[in-house]
Amino acid sequence: DGAFEKFRRHFTALGFERSRFANINDSFGQGAIGEEAVAKADFVFCLFQSFDRLPPSFRHQVTHVCYDECHHLLAATFTRIFTTLANAPRLKYCLGMTATLRHRSDATGEGLKKMFGGVVYIDFSWVSAKARGFFPPVDYLECLATMPSKPANAKTYAQLVSDFGKHGRV
């Protein structure tokens, strides 16, 4: 609910009316959710567990999907939901986000990456991503930019790279 409120606050500040947002949660009670709950919504937030409660017509209106904790998509129940939405006739954009690139059924994360055409946004450090081969094989130089007391004496990027190449440090 916190993410929903932040998202709605951001987009209402851009001019979207509050009525254009629907958060499918426990406040809807049990059972199917009627067409009226999502008919006017441009943005629908829904847990996987509530997806099957949405009206079937909703699936034909979806244009953008953002999956949080997308590593769960590899579970059979959630894979079915992913497939349903991935085949939505109007789908234009699909984003998956996770801090866990693996699932017990996919130890390497390759299955998850394949679901998103090889592109998955993950939240882990740059150093870990580089160590796991998620970047092309190039040399990276990390440096902390500081402003010396005499800016005229500041080294250029080319000088920093040269020093690093000669000494392995800057």
Q: What is the DSSP string of 6-19?
A: HHHHHHHHTT--GG
Question: Has residue 169 got a pLDDT over 60?
Answer: no
pLDDT band at 151 (very low <50, low <70, confident <90, very high): low
The model carries a pTM of 0.61
Q: What residues does 32 pair with on adjacent strands?
A: none
Q: 87 exposed, middle or buried (CB, 10 Å; 0-12, 13-18, 19+)? A: exposed
Residue % of the chain over a pLDDT of 70: 75
51-87 per-position pLDDT tens digit = 878 888 888 888 888 888 888 888 888 898 899 889 9
79-122 per-position pLDDT tens digit = 988 998 899 899 898 888 877 777 778 888 888 888 888 876 55
In whole angstroms, give the CA distance from residue 134 to residue 4.
31
Q: Which two tokens stand for residue 64?
A: 């953008």
Residues 6+ positions from 121 with CB-CB distance below 8 Å: 95, 96, 97, 98
pLDDT for position 122: 58
